[in-house]
């Protein structure tokens, strides 16, 4: 039997930075629409490997927090 090991989205530094970079150039409805698209795509990816419901929500919250931390970090570096 083959098992799939899920590598958490919030630990995918390149992807987190990519999302944060795209979000940093958006505001308001545009930022909201982009984030919803990210969530939709990530949810579909997780569902394909059997991660759904509360487990998917937990992963998406962690991704959101990682992106927010990256945005804060980028803003802090840009202000320095």
- Whether the model pTM is above 0.75: yes
- Tens of pLDDT, residue by residue over 38-76, are 999 999 999 998 899 999 999 999 999 999 999 999 887
Nearest Cα neighbor of 15 from 76, 78, 60, 80 is 60
Task: Report whether 71 contacts 24 (CB < 8 A).
Answer: yes
Q: Where are the domains of the chain?
A: 11-79
């Amino acid at each position: 039997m083959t098992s799939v090991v899920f590598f958490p989205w919030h630990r995918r530094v390149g992807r987190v930075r990519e999302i944060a970079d795209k979000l940093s150039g958006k505001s308001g409805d545009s930022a909201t629409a982009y984030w919803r698209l990210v969530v939709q795509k990530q949810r579909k990816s997780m569902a394909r490997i059997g991660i759904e419901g509360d487990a998917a929500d937990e992963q998406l919250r962690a991704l959101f927090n990682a992106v927010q931390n990256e945005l804060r970090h980028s803003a802090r570096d840009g202000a320095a």
